Each structure stands twice: as structure tokens, then as C-alpha cells.
Amino acid sequence: MNKKTLLTVSFSILFILALVKLPIQASAQNMSSDNYEIIDPTINSGGDDSSSSDNYKMEFSAGGEFNDERFESSNYKVGSGTGYTFMANVPKISYFEANDEKMNNICGYGGCYDRARFEIDPQNNPEDTLYSIEISDNDWSTVNYVDGITHQIKTNKDIDDYQTINSWQNGSWSEYNILGLNSQTEYKIRARALHGDFTESSPGPEKSTNTTNTTIFMDLDVSSESWRSSNPPYNITLGNISTNSVVTAPNYIWTSIGTNAQGGATISAYDLHGGLYSNNTDNLIESKNQNLETADSGFGIRIDTSKRLLDTGDPGYLRENLEYASSETNSVGGLSSSDHSYKVVLCTLRESTGHCNQGTGAPVHLSRTAIMLKAKASLQDEASDDYSDTITFSSIGTF
């Protein structure tokens, strides 16, 4: 047997002995005799009070292990001994947020109520190191785990819940990477690293964040300009409705919405009369989907898609139902006053080119778009100065 093999065999035996003896270290007792006392010694893996008399007490060391639990406080821990050299470095959480500017740009108006993002600081662990994430909403009285596949919270973990940094943070999980959180709750997380069998590190330092509440904001403004705010009541006039040409109201109805509803929000509309109604003449200029250019008469709304306004970093887009945004300049979408007659006019989507029948619902910071009123009368419509209607726009989030 050569020198190198001998050294390897000796080292392996010592290491196995160290592993076997580790539990003994944890319960080491004070060493004392009549003349002295050493508090809390756990000197090595082979330590044992195997020799003592009235005057002394000795612990033998069978290996090079050294693991004194006094090398740990609330602020630091020294990983002394060879066992630690095999363990992965203790990782840190470098980022954990649900409600900062970055997360508001992901979750929309009001921040994240059910999700958050964390980022792991590997602390020099190699790229293929696996990490598990522990999470608690009661200051670690109970410890839960983040599922490595679904990223939902669960009560126990298995090997699938150890993932690389790339799996935890990139690809599908490049925006948020913890789901299923409760709103208005403080969460703490910490990470453990694993790089090969029996190498799991102890948990790293915690980081905390607070989830927000679900929120929806809506506003209407009647104005010709994009930014002008107006107080209710929101009155808009069409002026004189001509029998030959299509009349467009000089002001827009500016509709604004903001929400953190992760499935997005819709804005539907219905009206009081199903068109412009005159009490004096009991006549109705009916509202329906049509091109007023070619129709005899009619009334409806139309979204001016060139007036769409987004907030900086908005995660979604306020998009339209195509019925209300035809390519023909004087085409309008109709409104109805009958029961269950709400019609979706606008919706918030992830895709900038989507429309309300196709796309994925998404939250928005604050998006604003302009709606036009258009009407045309026929010779059969009796003249009167009291043609009117009341349009109600209704917002609702998807959760």
C-alpha cells in the first residue's frame, strides 16, 4: 500500500468516525473536576470523557474534527471541521418583494396581493447547486416550502422542491416566482443550498415582504383633452343631430382603470333607453352595431384607438372589443337597456395587440382610453331638443 492510498483510507475512516460521533458532540457536558471546570466543551468528533480522576478529566480525540458550538451566535457561525467543507455555502436571499416599483410593474395598480418575487444570492456556490425555499407567515412558528414546480406554498418538501437559481428565477418565472400568498400578510423566506448528497446547508438569513390588498380604480372624465379631469356628473352633448351626416360629440369620454386583478378587468356598458330617447315625441333613435354612414339613423359608441394611453411600466394594455373599434370611421357599437344587457367594451390584456375576445387578462397600472359618441337621425325621427340617454360603464376585476 503506497503513502497516498494509506492517507486516503485513514482520512475516510476518520471522516466516517466523525459523522458517527457528531450527535455526541451536540450533547457534550461540561468537563470538571475538583480543581477546574471547562464549560460546554465539544472538542471533536472522537471526543469522549474516557479518562478521568479526582484531579483531571481528559477527552480523547480520534480525528481532526473540531466543532465547538460556542463558534455560533445569533450574528455568526463558524463552520469548523471537515464536515463543513463538504456542505454547500449558506445562501442568502438578495431580493424578496411584493410591493416595490418593480413588482408594481408586474402586478399592476396597488402591488401584488397573492404573489411575490425572490432572488437568491448563491454565496459562491457552483451554478448547478440546488436551493429550497422556506417560507413563513408567523415568524417561523410554522415553516412551509415553495413548490419547485408550481411555486405554490406547501407544508412539506421533496427533492423536486430543490431547484437551481435558473429554474427558480428565469424563464416562466422571470417576473414573480412565489404564488398563492394571502393578501395583506407579512411573509419571511430563507433558502437552503444542496450540492450533492448530504451537503445541504443550514438556512440562510431571512428576508421579509408584505403583500398588498386587491384593488380596483376607475374614473371617467368628459373632455377633449387627454389629461383634463372632470368631476361628476359627467355630461356630454352631441349638439344638433343631422339627418344627412354622422354627428360626433366634440368631447371624449375618457375611461381610466387601474387594478392588480391578475386575471385583468373588463369595462362593460349598458344604457338607459337603448338609444337616444325623446320624452316629448316618444321617439327612439335606436342604438345598435352599424356603420352610421350607410344606416338611415342610429346611435352608438366608438373607441378611438389612437387615443390609448398607458402608464410607464404598465404590465397590461387597455384593449377594446372589436365591435366598438371597427376600421370604418363612422361604425359604432350598440348599447342595450334590456335586462342582462351589459356588453364588454374594454378589457385589460397582457398582449398589446389582443382584443377582448382573444388574449390573456392582465393587471394594469393606470390605462386610459377615449370613447366617442356618434349619432345620425332619419327624416322619420321627429325633431325635439330632449333626445338623451344615460350610459353606465361598469368595471370588474378577475381574481
Q: Which of residues 343-372 bind another protein (CB under 8 A)?
A: 344, 347, 349, 356-361, 365-366, 368
What residues does 26 pair with on adjacent strands?
none
User: What phi and psi, each to the nearest 5 degrees, are found at residue 72?
Assistant: -140, 135
Among 27, 54, 233, 327, binds another protein (CB under 8 A): 233
Query: Under the criterion CB under 8 A, does residue 263 sit at the interface with another protein?
Result: yes
Q: Report the distance separating Cα 308 and Cα 296, nearest Å.
A: 30
Instruction: Give the per-residue contact string, 46-85, with another protein (x = CB under 8 A; - = no).
Output: ----------------------------------------
Q: Which is nearer to another protein, 51 or 213 (CB)?
A: 213
CB 194 within 8 A of CB 87: no
Q: Where are the alpha helices (DSSP H) in 157-215?
A: 165-169
* Grid cell of 120 as nine digits: 437568491
Query: Under the criterion CB under 8 A, does residue 322 sit at the interface with another protein?
Result: no
**Shortest Cβ distance from residue 263 to another protein (Å)?**
4
Q: What length does the chain have?
A: 399
Q: Which of residues 172-231 bind another protein (CB under 8 A)?
A: 172, 179-180, 183, 213-222, 227, 229-231
Query: Under the criterion CB under 8 A, does residue 15 sit at the interface with another protein?
Result: no
Q: What is the 3-state secondary structure (H, E, C) of 23-79?
A: HHHHCCCCEECCCCEECCCCCCCCCCCCEECCCCEECCCCCCCCCCHHHECCCCECC
Interacting span for another protein (CB under 8 A) from 125-133, 199-207, 281-289, 389-397: 389-397
Q: Report the distance separating Cα 359 and Cα 370, nearest Å.
A: 21
Query: Under the criterion CB under 8 A, does residue 393 sit at the interface with another protein?
Result: yes
Q: Which is nearer to another protein, 189 or 391 (CB)?
A: 391
Query: Under the criterion CB under 8 A, does residue 19 sit at the interface with another protein?
Result: no
Size of the site for another protein (CB under 8 A): 76
SS3 call for 113: coil
Q: Report the distance separating Cα 144 and Cα 241, nearest Å.
A: 66
Q: Report the distance separating Cα 204 and Cα 225, nearest Å.
A: 54
CB 125 within 8 A of CB 88: yes
Among 57, 117, 151, 273, binds another protein (CB under 8 A): 151
Q: Which is nearer to another protein, 19 or 310 (CB)?
A: 310
Q: Report the distance separating Cα 102 and Cα 18, nearest Å.
A: 48
**Shortest Cβ distance from residue 96 to another protein (Å)?**
18
Query: Under the criterion CB under 8 A, does residue 87 sit at the interface with another protein?
Result: no
* Grid cell of 176 as nine digits: 414573480
Query: Under the criterion CB under 8 A, does residue 284 sit at the interface with another protein?
Result: no
Among 194, 261, 318, 375, binds another protein (CB under 8 A): 261
Q: Which is nearer to another protein, 246 or 362 (CB)?
A: 362
Q: Which is nearer to another protein, 94 or 184 (CB)?
A: 184
Query: Under the criterion CB under 8 A, does residue 274 sit at the interface with another protein?
Result: no
